[in-house]
Amino acid sequence: MALQIIFIFVAAVTLGGALMTVTSRNLVHSALWLILSLFGVAVLYVLLNASFLAVAQVVIYIGAIAILIIFGVMMTRRLVIDPSRQINNTWWLAALLSLVFFGGLSWMLSTWDGFWSEAPIMAVNIDPLKQLGKALVAPDLYVLPFELASVLLLAALIGSIIIAYEKR
Amino acid sequence: MAFLHDPITFIANWLQTLLAGWGLSSGLISVILTFFGVLVAALMLLVLDFSLVWVERKTVARLQDRIGPNRIGPFGIFQPVPDVLKLLIKEDITPEGADKIVYNLAPIFGLGAVLLLWAVIPFGYKILGTDINVGVLYIVAVGALGTLGIIMAGWASNNKYGLLGAFRMVAQMVSFEVPMVISLLIPVILARTMGINGIIEAQGGMWFVIVSPIAALILLISAQAELGRAPFDLAEAESEIVAGFHIEYTGIKFGMFYAGELLHALTFGAIISALFLGGWRGPGAETFPFLGVVYLFIKAFILYFVIMWLKYSLPRLRIDQMLNFNWKFLTPLALILLILTAILSKILENAGITLGSSPLLFSGLFLMMNLILVGITVLLLRAYGPKHPKVIAEPRPVAVTPETPATDIS
């Protein structure tokens, strides 16, 4: 019961933050609301007992990405406040499409049999962090996606160095 | 005696029976107890923070060959009281064009991010806030919130110098986070756990500062940079950008940044001592947990002194020197150390030598590996490192020695 109240509160904050991100006129405020929304997602991970995901969410999204976004916005200070209209004439089409999309996703989720059942209580002596780490490098589990992601990130890193490199 | 052996459980049990006697439900009692525990811990830290004002002022005075605060109380020990009173009664100025909400939120982030760090640092045997299994990563995550507070302060105060200071500070914190995270991983590899209490328990045989001194040193240096203290204090270089990101803050809002900075230094001392110096470990700390608290704070204050000592002895670096030092020296060194530590610990594990079974042999081998790495680094630096500082111009004497005055009048 208490968990449900916390969940509803956190979900409302997350959604409210997301809404303010797209409606706020000030770009830096948008970025700050985005941070609130991402933080709400991290709290949802905590409620799901996924401590590693929660902390990684804060480190990666708030610690790195959101700060990069704020940096980018501040570098373009002239454009921080956008005075133009925020909606155009086809707003009803967008609203309809998103409603249909939301309905479709909810219907699909409700057909999944895990949707209505209660979450199983995790065994006390299992360390989910260790299992996650082992699963990431086990050959029959996720080692290939894991390595692919690392190669992609390495390529992005080298690419950014090449772009920024000045010939002397 | 039960109180001395396990004080937190004792107090919790006592309060629980007391509250249950008043007819409260068990769920409400656990909420009240948690809230009470958090309140007590946070208040204790803030009171400690209060006294740090005196510690810092007295130490800097001694390092600069002054006496320091000496009027109020013995050795000026009550100096924080007028200091804080002054901050409280100062005019609270909000600059024109400032973003009021963000401007007022920023100091809360600045101090709150520091207080949050203490949630995972164990004070003593069985005296700890929470023992989450991702404690080390939590420290990094909370550090990100502190960075956010600084950037909010710099932007919201509508001041060019403030914004520039925030940019510098965030560039520095994001850069130095890389070697810091890598050096935080080394105790994780050695202890095979990310929980801070687990890391402290793994140091029963040998402190990790002996097993991996380079990692401890890298962590200390990057902590200095994360704190924005000299030689990395160019975020508040007075001669260039006046005061950096907190330029517009007055009164108690500035006080919160100041308190956050002081407590942050002590907190890093506590983190380094938990990860590398055995935390609360010491003779008799397991039978009498309060001794553990004393040991932890002794170690933390020694490291805090080292941090202050560095701050007040070294001149400020330029931003290119700071970034070169981080990216071309500290980060590669930390990465190589991480790879070597991982390989060596796996080899030793397969050979049946662990920290638990034969601590002396284990730490001796690791120490040797670290010393060899230091030797190679020194050789490489001698061969390829910067030989001389770049000379831009000949030094110009500002003051010319006066000619010897004529003593005899002829």
Across all residues in chain A, what is the average pLDDT?
84
| Residue B293 identity (one-letter amino acid) | V
When CB atoms are compared, the residue of B138, B155, B194 closest to A74 is: B155
Q: Is B141's CB within 8 Å of A59's CB?
A: yes
What pLDDT score does B150 carry? 86
User: Which of residues B47, B63, B89 is at a domain's end?
Assistant: B89
Whether B393 is in a domain gets the answer no
CB B102 to CB A28 under 8 A? yes
Angle between helical axes of B7-21 and B26-63 (0-180°, round to 10) = 140
Q: Which of B103, B145, B188, B245 to mutate to test the interface with A (most CBs of A within 10 A)?
A: B145
| Inter-chain touch B140–A66, beta carbons under 8 Å | no
Model pLDDT for residues B216-268, shown as the tens digit of each residue: 999 999 988 888 887 888 777 777 777 778 888 888 888 888 888 888 899 99
- Do B224 and B135 reside in the same domain of the chain? yes
Alpha carbon distances (Å) from A22 to A19, A110, B165: 6, 28, 29
Q: Cβ separation of B155 and A52 shorter than 8 Å?
A: no
Instruction: Tell which residue, B178, B182, B202, B180, has the closest CA to residue B190.
Output: B202
**Distance between B135 CA and the closest CA of chain A, angstroms:** 9
Tell me the per-residue pLDDT of B290-311, one tens digit each, with 9 for 90 and over.
Answer: 788 888 888 899 999 998 898 8
The confidence score (pLDDT) of residue B408 equals 64
Nearest residue on chain A to B177, alpha-carbon basis: A63
Using the predicted structure, report yes or no on whether residue A81 has a pLDDT greater than 70.
no
Of A51, A56, A62, the CB nearest to B132: A51
What six digits make up the tokens of B118? 């203490």
Whether residues B193 and B271 share a domain: the answer is: yes
- pLDDT value of position A105: 92
Backbone angles phi, psi at B45, to 5 degrees: -65, -35
ipTM over 0.90: no
The parent domain of residue B76 ranges over 1-89
**How far apart are the C-alpha atoms of A108 and A102, rounded to whole Å?**
10
What is the arithmetic mean of pLDDT over A4-10?
87
B82 and B216: one domain? no
Q: Are residues B123 and B153 in the same domain?
A: yes
Per CB-CB distance under 8 Å, the chain A contacts of B177 are: 63
Contact indicator for B141, A63 with CB cutoff of 8 Å: yes
Residue A113's pLDDT is 76
Task: Give pLDDT tens digits along chain B (410 positions).
Answer: 566 666 777 777 777 777 777 777 777 777 888 888 888 888 888 888 888 888 888 888 888 888 888 888 788 788 888 888 888 888 888 888 778 888 888 888 888 888 888 888 888 777 777 777 788 888 888 888 888 888 888 888 888 888 888 888 888 888 888 899 899 889 888 888 888 888 888 887 788 888 888 899 999 999 888 888 878 887 777 777 777 788 888 888 888 888 888 888 999 999 999 888 887 887 777 777 778 888 888 889 999 999 889 888 888 888 888 888 888 888 999 999 999 888 988 888 888 777 777 778 878 888 888 889 889 988 888 888 777 766 777 777 777 666 776 666 65
A34 touches chain B (CB under 8 A): no
pLDDT of residue A100: 95
Asked if B368 and B226 sit in the same domain, the reply is: yes
How distant is the Cα of A42 from the closest Cα of chain B, in angstroms? 11
Number of domains in chain B: 2
| Positive/negative CA dihedral, A128, A133, A134, A139 | positive
Cα-Cα-Cα-Cα dihedral sign, residues B25, B30, B35, B40:
positive
Higher pLDDT, B403 or A52: A52
Residues whose CB is less than 8 angstroms from the CB of residue B58 and which lie 6 or more positions away in sequence, other chains included: B68, B69, B75, B76
Domain boundary among B69, B89, B109: B89
Q: A1-80 — its CATH code?
A: 1.20.120.1200
Considering the domain architecture, whether residues B75 and B113 belong to the same structural domain is answered as no
Q: Which of B71, B89, B107 marks a domain boundary?
A: B89
Is residue B183 one of the residues assigned to a domain? yes
The confidence band for A153, taking pLDDT boundaries of 50, 70 and 90, is very high
> Does B379 lie in the same domain as B310?
yes
Helix axes B135-156, B251-276, angle to 10 degrees: 160
Across the interface, do A66 and B177 touch by the CB < 8 Å criterion? Answer: no
CB B75 within 8 A of CB B58: yes
**Tokens matching residue A137:** 């490098």
DSSP state of A130: H
Interface check for B97 against chain A (CB to CB < 8 A): the answer is no
- Cβ B151–A70 below 8 Å, yes or no? yes
Domain boundaries, chain A: 1-80, 126-168
* Residue A87 contacts B, CB cutoff 8 Å: no
